[in-house]
Structure 1
Amino acid sequence: MIADVARVFTRPAGWLIDAWSYLLSLVAGFTGIEMLQYAFMHRAFLVGILIAVIAPLIGTFLVHRQLALIGDALAHTAFAGVAVGLFVNATLGTGVSPYLTAVVVAIVAALAIELISEVTDAYNDVSMAIVLSTGFALGAVLISLNAGGLAVGVNQYLFGSLATVSRSNTIILIGLFAIISLVVGTTYKQLLYVTFDETAARVAGLNVPWYNRIMTMLTAMVVVGAMQIMGVILVAAMLVVPVAGAAQLARSFREALLASVILAEIAVLVGITLSFHYEATAGGTIVLVAVAVYIAAVLFGKVRTNRSAADAPATADESTAD
């Protein structure tokens, strides 16, 4: 049954990848751009574009709820999931994708964060610290138990890589993108209510703990999806930096959401391009570009604010004269 469902989804996802690759091949033929001639770059750009949508989509909610660090916690537990997948493959000879095990472990960790907070009345940062250290410790232990091949294989998950974005992993990300987009689209109003006034949401009859769990599980999915290019160490940046830049430009939550996606797309596309041309680490390059975009957004916001402040007295004087 599960295999049948997987095949039903895999076909359209595969068609999407093929159509995207064909389109970029045409662009490469017309323009002569070298990097668009390679299939792995086709997948890297597709993965990057999707990540630049779902990361700010979830990150905007997290930043407004002051949960920006949850991305770091889940990234480190996703690292444990990757280690589990690599360990199982190395010892049992199975062909399970480490990204699938990372999704499962990260979602379990997301639920653990909520459970620890609810059962022990601990602050969210305490539960995140506990889960983060436990996940990273588990990953380190599994790698040390079979250090022969795992230490080399795990580097791409720590720092990200363009060349290792496989077709199967791209299909996994497309599935995560579809799930995240669908869930946020159907629960947007409820998530917004819980984000800005949790007490009023409880009074209105919303199941606040349930929506908190939904948000943490969606965060786990984003983290695992972005891990392919960003790497475990830098993946949380895509949840925070574009959102922080958008906050300097937007006047409403919807504007902030749209602006953060645009800034994230700029960072990802420019970062992937620079990473290819200079053979630099993909995750680090994307984050540096994202920080540069953030600085530009801050400067633009300051200039706009100063200009508005300068225009205000002139407007007041004109109204007084009238």
Structure 2
Amino acid sequence: MEILELEFFQRALIGGVFIGITAPLIGLFLVLRRLSMIGDTLSHVAIAGVALGLLIGFYPLAAGVIFAIAASFAIEKLRKAYKTYAELSLAIIMSGGIALASILFTWGKSFSMNVNSYLFGSIYTLSTGDLYLIGGVTIAVLVIIGFQLKELFLMTFDEEAAAVSGLPTRFYNVMISVLTALVISAAIKIVGALLVSALLTIPAACSLIVARSFRQSVIIVVVIGELAVIAGLLIAGVWNLAPGGTIVLLLIAVLLILLTLRKGFRRAG
């Protein structure tokens, strides 16, 4: 296809491949820990950072990363304060992020500030700097998870046992939150803040249907994420569709197919 020869589409594919690895991988840990909504929370806070970056002339994605990381620390602090009602931390931080973003958007109107590419994604406008940022986040996530997989497995399924065994659970909680913040900030320009949660959670939901072990889940989420991103980009490029929306709809289609097949297997059994 001719579109594959275009430089902007090549950058889009590279960025998509990177985020197709990291977002589903981090999302698996979040889903298994029942923290699926953290994606929406941090993405809204990151958008506030992007808006501030656009206002003051600072690299928007870097500003989003800073805001998202700060929010991840705040979430952990609030989760500790409200142990019985841990989901309150997500609601509080999300509300604050939306409120701050709305104020910054209002200020930005007089500067013709365009945030649509960060709300809905603009993968075709990825710059070389964006690719360096996304690639750096991908390497960091793979290295950390690769070296800490056993510890993260224990933290995910039994945090109390992890604490009893001597693992610094607070450190690992913060680490997961910071990695999530990095991935979300990197993914915003690819699928957009309004859709990034889907890339975190739907591949994990698919893996829960077919995987029989944690290691299988890790492989399946990455495979599904990559297939959806690459196929979505190709379909969107050929048919002139919104890339982020196409990717998410493909993920939902895969999930529905797997759910249908599972029901069929049960009836056959």
- Partners of 1:56 and 1:242 within 8 A in 2: yes
What's the CA shift for 1:120? 4.3
1:192 aligns with 2:153: yes
Q: Which of 14, 39, 43 is matched with 2:7 structurally?
A: 39
Query: Are 1:87 and 1:146, in contact at CA under 8 Å, matched by a contact in 2?
Result: yes
Letter in 2 for 1:180: V
State yes or no: 1:228 paired with 2:189: yes
Provide the C-alpha distance between the structure 2 equivalents of 1:150 and 1:239, rounded to a whole number of angstroms: 31
TM-score between the two structures when normalised by the length of structure 2: 0.96
Which residue of 168, 171, 179 maps to 1:210?
A: 171
Structure 2 counterpart of 1:241, from 202, 211, 217: 202
Which one-letter code corresponds to 1:174 in the other structure? G
User: Does structure 1 residue 105 correspond to structure 2 residue 67?
Assistant: yes
Aligned to 1:140: 102
User: How far off is 1:232 after superposition?
Assistant: 0.5
Separation of aligned partners in 1, 2:152 and 2:142: 13
Identity of aligned residues (%): 38
Q: After TM superposition, give the deviation of residue 110 of structure 1 in Å.
A: 0.6
Per the TM alignment, residue 170 of structure 1 is displaced from its structure 2 partner at its CA by 0.8
Match of 1:258 in 2: 219
Tell me how far apart the structure 2 counterparts of residues 230 and 150 of structure 1 sit (CA, whole Å).
Answer: 22
Equivalent residue for 2:264? Answer: 303
Contact 1:83 1:142 in 2 (8 A): yes
Q: Residue deviations 1:120-168, cap 9 Å, x none?
A: 44622111111111112111111211213444x2000000013211111
Return the alpha-carbon distance in structure 2 between the equivalents of residues 264 and 74 of structure 1: 20
Q: Paired residue for 1:163?
A: 124
Highest Rg: 1 or 2?
1
Length, aligned pairs only: 269
Q: Conserved in 1, the CA contact under 8 Å of 2:82 and 2:88?
A: no
Q: Distance in 2 between matches of 1:283 and 1:124?
A: 30
How far apart, in 1, do the equivalents of 2:135 and 2:112 lie?
Answer: 27
What is the CA deviation profile of residues 254-296 of structure 1, one whole-angstrom value per residue up to 9, with x for unaligned ones?
Answer: 1111111111111111111122122222211110011001111
| Cα RMSD for the two superposed structures | 1.3
Deviation at 1:196, TM superposition (A): 0.5
Distance, in Å, in 2 between the alignment partners of 1:169 and 1:194 is 32
Contact kept, 8 Å, 1:87 with 1:143, in 2: the verdict is: no
What is the letter of the counterpart of residue 154 of structure 1? V
What runs of 5+ residues in structure 2 fail to find an aligned partner? none
Counterparts of 1:277 and 1:116 in 2: how far apart (Å)?
46
**5+ residue gaps, structure 1:** 1-32, 90-95, 310-322
Aligned to 1:282: 243
* Aligned counterpart, 2:55: 87
Post-superposition Cα deviations, 1:219-244, rounded to whole Å, max 9, x if no partner, equal 11111111111000000101100110
Give yes or no for contact 1:113–1:124 (8 Å, CA) kept in 2. no
The corresponding residue for 1:172 is 133
1:166-198 CA-partner distances (Å, limit 9, x unpaired): 111011100111111111112111111111011
